[in-house]
Amino acid sequence: MDFNCIVGLDEVGRGPLAGPIVAAAVHISDFNVLKGMKFGDSKSMSAKRREKLFAFFKSKSEIKWGIGNVSNNTIDKINILEATKLAMRKALDNLNVKPDLVIIDGNFKIGLNVLELPVIKGDERIVSCSVASIVAKVTRDRLMDKYDLKYPEYGFKNHKGYGTKEHRDAIKKYGYSKIHRKSFRVK
């Protein structure tokens, strides 16, 4: 079976105690722009490397993406899995291409009217999912850096909302901010 338009989807931010979940949908029209490059899951590389790759991707007209955000409030209302699916659908809606195959990093489908292929560890195995992983991570990290300016007492710039000791101690001292997920309990 031949596909004319393949899109890779990935998300970041399922595990943090604060902030949104962010998904990226990526279409690469010519893979030659990535020839010789190696990358995988965004979490396995340094922030500096992710930023450098993000700038490179942005400079290439052959690489297009859409971003989908789902807020902490929506995560609390519908649960993290449904929020993940919603963020992915939003990212695809914002991509402005009509795929005939969507490859999803994960083990679930998201309810599209096109062929969906879930791939476990897709961000390590599928180039468009790897690029989506990096785009989503850089986008979310930048957003958490902005939240750090608004809520400096939590140290979001350091941990991006994940449940580090520093973050848990700040929650105990200051309580929850407006961007904390109330459905994620701190122990």
Residue ranges of domains in the chain:
6-142
Specify the pLDDT at position 69.
98
Specify the pLDDT at position 44.
80
**Bridging pattern class, strands 115-119 and 21-28:** unpaired
Helical (H) or strand (E) element with 68: strand 63-70
Specify the pLDDT at position 21.
98
Query: Residue 27's closest CA among 83, 86, 87, 94?
Result: 94
Q: Which residue type occupies 84?
A: T
Specify the pLDDT at position 38.
81
**E runs forming strands in the chain:** 6-12, 21-28, 63-70, 101-105, 115-119
Specify the pLDDT at position 172.
96
Which option is the CATH number for 6-142: 3.40.50.150, 3.30.70.260, 3.20.20.70, 3.30.420.10?
A: 3.30.420.10
List per-block mean pLDDT (blocks of 10 residues) for the chain, which spans 187 residues.
91 97 98 86 85 97 98 96 97 96 97 96 94 97 98 97 96 97 74
Specify the pLDDT at position 181.
96
Query: Residue 86's closest CA among 14, 147, 149?
Result: 14
